[in-house]
Amino acid sequence: MATKEPEVITDKHEMRKWSRAMRSQGKTIGFVPTMGYLHEGHITLVREAHNHSDLIVVSIYVNPGQFSPTEDLSTYPSDFRGDIEKLMAIPGGVDVVFHPHNLYDYGPNLSGDNGFESKGGKLKGAGVVSCVEDSGFGHETWVRVENLEKGMCGESRPVFFRGVATVVTKLFNIVEPDVAMFGKKDYQQWRVIQRLVRDLDFSIKVIGSEIVRHNDGLAMSSRNVHLSPEQRQQALSINRSLLRARIAAEKGHVNCQELRDLVTKAIQEAGGKVDYAEIVDQESLRAVEEITSPVVFCVAAWFGKVRLIDNMEICLRNGDL
């Protein structure tokens, strides 16, 4: 049975006013930041947020600050009405959907709800980076988590975590939640946000939720919609090879190069192109060469024009080492 339709707030000042009014009544606020085109992974985050707070805010905002000019901002899927209906179907529902048109200042010569437009017309997919680069105008304050953002996704997407950390900081300052939910599919992102909250003294509990998968094992992602049927089958090689690597590690094969080779070969043979396959410490995200403590095996791979990420935590018992 559908719950009532959530209140949609587009103005950041109204959003902050609502949150402060609720907090003054002693209510706690759970927050789920998203870029929309919701799937069961997002829904799981909302369900879990209900276990930690009285009220739920979901943001839907495609953040241009985390896309470089060559990335897929302009083609990122959206279905706002469909997202609202999915949120209404959750037991307990959602209290507010924060749907801002723009959270950045593009300066006197740039405008547009998502940073696409200028006086000269469209800046197709350019995002914030091109809008403010060396211009002397517009948004120039960025949040960096310097060590955790290095490597893995930070290597191939150098502006990504700068954009994520900055917009999440802005959203935290606007929504002022008590609890924030992040999916562990984006493992590096989750750790970056945890460190940001710790280092900047936000009074927010950041909770990581386990990866939600389709029945065949593929991690749920908004980008899956862009996979052809053939690519969809090829992409199953990521989770399947990660499972084989974890089983191998549990049997005593703890050499990380051998495990990386196992996964890389499986993905390539399936038709994918590996961006990275790294085994890193779960806390520091530093690469390791032999598994002696809890690690996470993180993978990013291309299938056609679609880049997918996935990971698997490996926590060996003492008797396994």
Q: What is the pLDDT of residues 178-236, one digit of tens each?
A: 999 999 999 999 999 999 999 999 999 999 999 999 999 999 999 999 999 999 999 99
CATH 3.40.50.620 fits 7-209, yes or no: yes
205 vs 29, 46, 147, 193, 194, CA distance in Å? Answer: 11, 15, 21, 11, 9
What percentage of the chain has pLDDT greater than the value 70? 88
Please say if 42 is a catalytic residue: yes
Residue 249, φ and ψ in degrees, nearest 5? -65, -40
CA-CA distance, 260 to 87, in Å (whole number)? 39
Between residues 176 and 133, the one the model is more confident about: 176
Selecting among 13, 39, 42, 101, the annotated active-site residue is 42
Whether residue 298 is predicted with pLDDT greater than 70 in this model: the reply is: yes
Check pLDDT > 70 for residue 249: yes
Identify the three-state secondary structure at position 91: coil
Task: Provide the residue ranges of all domains of the chain, joining segments of one domain with +.
Answer: 7-209, 222-314
Neighbours of 66 (CB within 10 A): 24
Size (the chain), residues: 321
**CA gap 173, 167 in Å, rounded:** 10
Q: Which of 141, 160, 146, 159 is nearest to 199 (CA)?
A: 146
- Residue 137 is predicted with a pLDDT of 53
Which residues lie closer than 8 Å to 320 by C-beta, 6 or more apart?
Answer: 249, 250, 252
Strand spans (E) along the chain: 7-9, 29-34, 55-60, 96-98, 110-111, 117-118, 121-122, 179-183, 205-209, 273-281, 295-303, 306-314
Q: Is residue 209 within 8 Å of residue 233, measured between CB atoms?
A: no
For the entire predicted model, the pTM comes to 0.90
229 contact partners, CB below 8 Å, separation of at least 6 = none
Mean pLDDT over the full length of the chain: 90
Average pLDDT over residues 260-285: 98
67-95: string of b/e by CB count within 10 Å (b at 16+)? bbeebebbebeeeeeebbebbeebeebbb
Task: Please name the residues in contact with 265: beta carbons below 8 A apart, sequence gap of 6 or more.
Answer: none
Written out in words, the top-level CATH class of the domain with range 222-314 is: alpha beta
